[in-house]
Chains A and B, each alone.
Chain A
Amino acid sequence: MPPDRASDPPRTTGALLPLRKPDAAPQETRLGDVDEWGRSERVRTIIRQAFGPLYRHWFRVEWEGLHKIPASGGALLVANHAGAIPVDAPVIMHGIEEELGRPVYGLADFLFRSLPFGGTLWARGGGVAAHPDNAYRLLHHQQQLVLVFPEGTKGTGKLYSDRYRLRRFGRGGFVEIAMRAGVPIVPITVLGSEEAMPVLARSTRLGRMLGLPYVPLTANMLLFGPLLGLVAYLPAKFKVRVLEPVYLDVPPDQERYPRSRVLDAAEEIRLRMQDSLFDMLRRRRSAWRG
């Protein structure tokens, strides 16, 4: 909105004068507080209040190196992803928002957008469809924190026997976005999401029929039934470690970046995260007590 209409360029005032008197009242009086990404601080606060007890008493989330997340400016947070219906995203978002007071936008598969009710709640709670343009705009124009799981559904669909073994990091798209946006990548490793909802088996064929990436069979479903098992997580102890931010030494806003450079950086980050996960596992005495 033009803040002051008198400041329109003079060349337009002759021929292109608006016909009706533009209304003088501010146009920004809104009934809701949903931003362009669909996020609502009001809904986000309700979610935080509801998730808080779970975060503190059920998952007993413990952070390490939270100060490494930039207090201002954009950054791409990259984490490992696990558990059929992953709870790691809300855990990371909740923790950072509570501790740093900064909003976190979680990128996720487009799948969410076609879910009635759940998809709307997901967007109001800070979820954004993982489109490169969306990520670039959030990081570069708006200097926000953006959380992405480069493993995608390959991470959440992996079996319990493969736990804490990182899958392929897509095609390194996340590195390219960070390069273009000129923001650091902050790797985060999470322990606990694998045990909170262990995947015993999965069917991609059944999933394809339902339009889902996979249909999992989880230990939770066996224990609590097929419906309650979707939301009843086991009380695994969550440990989250923030690794040193990676500053990509390339000029931002380039048309394209050398493929090898992108893939090398992605692989390097993946190896560092894998090392960190093994290190955290080495120190962990129990999956439930930490």
Chain B
Amino acid sequence: MSVGRRMLITGLSSFWGGRLAQEFERDPGVEVVVGMDSRPPVVALGRTEFVRADETYSILSRLVRATQVDTIVHAGLIVDSSSQSARVLHEHNVIGTMNLLASAAAEDSRVTTVVVKSSTLVYGSARRDPTWFAEDSRRTSPARTPVERSLLEAEELIEAFVEENPGVRAAVLRCANVLGEDLVTALSRALCGPVTPVVAGFDPQLQFVEQEDVIRAIRFVVARGLEGVFNVAGDGRLPWSEIRAMAGHFPLPLSPVLTGLAVLPLSRLGLLRLAPETLELLRFGRGVDNTKLKHAGFRYNFTTAGAVRHFVEARRVGRVAGDRPAYRYESDVEAFFRHSPAVVVPPA
């Protein structure tokens, strides 16, 4: 019997799930890649098997049993709340994680490794924050936004899972705000528009991580079998004003008092999509200490400044040459290429 890894990737149709599946497909040490999501994938995949599930992953225990996966990469946590309702966030992040962990802890499961992609949103953003959060720092303000609460709850579930299942290696990667040419986040949208929202009078320091560094970090943690919580973020922080200047946009000052109210009409008109946690971030910023993962041997390709510059340069190309054509998943085509005897598979 082969000794290759059997992987399950949740959130396959998110940018992260898709990119990770592409990566693990290429890895000869990975025998099987199963991807799960409620929507069809958005990137071209080779040998990944796509399973459509509902958003709470209720079929997971069957799937884990049937596929005998040993590694689960939970890339399906929603961290951008501007596109989802509070209910969906809770179902997806909390109930989805609960079902995932339950299936991994089931008696007949062969799961030995669970890697979860979380976010530095769990630290919040408040005036009492330290300049750099370490993995064991506590947040200084109660979590008020639905996305932060759901992520905290999901991490609590993982903590309990770790205690109850000492045989399973579990790692949580808390990623800082990600920038990348293929990824749309609340902040990347803010840097793409003609004007960039700023909270008047505040110039917070933000930290970013490049999208490929996140992919590499997840692969690194899977390959090394690391356990515990890790911050994933580029070195250094940059003031929002400097980031905006790098992107070459004009500021759109928002009132420093009653900011949420000031944003409301703009968001109703669809001019601005800023989640409450993003508004707090644009006021106080956030920095996380990335030394724990670096001490484990990981090397970032991009600093915060490098990630911002890389993103800005990619946007310039995109503006001139147009964005890359979007991929569309056709189940018949995919089934043909995967299972038809007519397809000649080149020897590995």
Contacts and interface: CB of A to CB of B under 8 A. Distances in A.
Contact of B137 (A2, A27, A34, A133): A133
A132 B129 CA distance: 11
Given A16-B219, A20-B212, A27 B131 contact: no
A78 to B, nearest CB: 21
Contact of B223 (A9, A16, A113): A16
Contact of A1 (B205, B287, B306): B306
Interface string A84-95: 000000000000
Contact of B242 (A5, A12, A30, A114): A30
A137 B242 contact: no
A2 B234 CA distance: 11
A118 to B, nearest CB: 8
Contacts of A28: 303, 305
A38 B236 CA distance: 11
B297 A9 contact: yes
Contacts of A137: 131-132
B130 interface: yes
Contacts of B205: 34, 36, 38
Interface stretch (B9-17, B112-120, B196-204): B196-204
B84 interface: no
Contacts of B242: 30-32, 34
Interface in B299-344: 299-303, 305-306, 309-310
Contact of A27 (B29, B241, B305): B305
A156 to B, nearest CB: 19
A49 interface: no
Nearest to B298: A12
B92 interface: no
A27 B302 contact: yes
Contacts of A251: none
Contacts of B137: 133
B216 A36 contact: no
Contacts of B300: 1-2
Main secondary structure of the interface of A (DSSP, over half): loop
Contacts of B199: 116
Contacts of B239: 32, 34, 38
Contact of A133 (B130, B219, B303, B309): B130
Contacts of A23: 306, 309-310
B303 A1 contact: yes
Interface in A98-127: 110-111, 113-120
Main secondary structure of the interface of B (DSSP, over half): loop
B237 interface: yes
A15 B27 contact: yes
A129 B305 contact: no
Contact of B202 (A16, A29, A119, A128): A119
B252 interface: no
B236 A36 contact: yes
A231 B306 CA distance: 41
B202 A129 contact: no
Contacts of A8: 299
Contacts of B161: none
B127 A12 contact: no
Contacts of B299: 2, 5, 8-9, 12
A37 to B, nearest CB: 6
Contacts of B134: 133
A117 B201 contact: yes
A22 interface: yes
Nearest to A26: B306
B256 A133 contact: no
B221 to A, nearest CB: 10
B235 A1 contact: yes
A105 to B, nearest CB: 11
A33 to B, nearest CB: 9
B245 interface: yes
B26 to A, nearest CB: 9
A36 B201 contact: no
A18 B214 CA distance: 11
A12 B132 contact: no
A19 interface: yes
B219 A15 contact: yes
Contacts of B310: 23
The 10 A-B pairs at the shortest CB distance, nearest first, are namely: A116-B201, A27-B306, A116-B256, A113-B127, A117-B201, A133-B130, A131-B130, A32-B242, A22-B301, A110-B127
20 contacts: A2-B300, A11-B297, A12-B297, A15-B29, A16-B223, A19-B215, A27-B309, A30-B242, A31-B246, A32-B239, A34-B205, A34-B238, A36-B132, A37-B131, A116-B201, A116-B256, A129-B128, A129-B131, A131-B130, A134-B130
Interface of A: 1-2, 5, 8-9, 11-12, 15-16, 18-20, 22-23, 27-32, 34, 36-38, 110-111, 113-120, 128-129, 131-134, 137
Given A5-B301, A116-B256, 8 more contacts: A8-B299, A9-B297, A19-B212, A23-B306, A113-B284, A129-B131, A133-B131, A134-B130
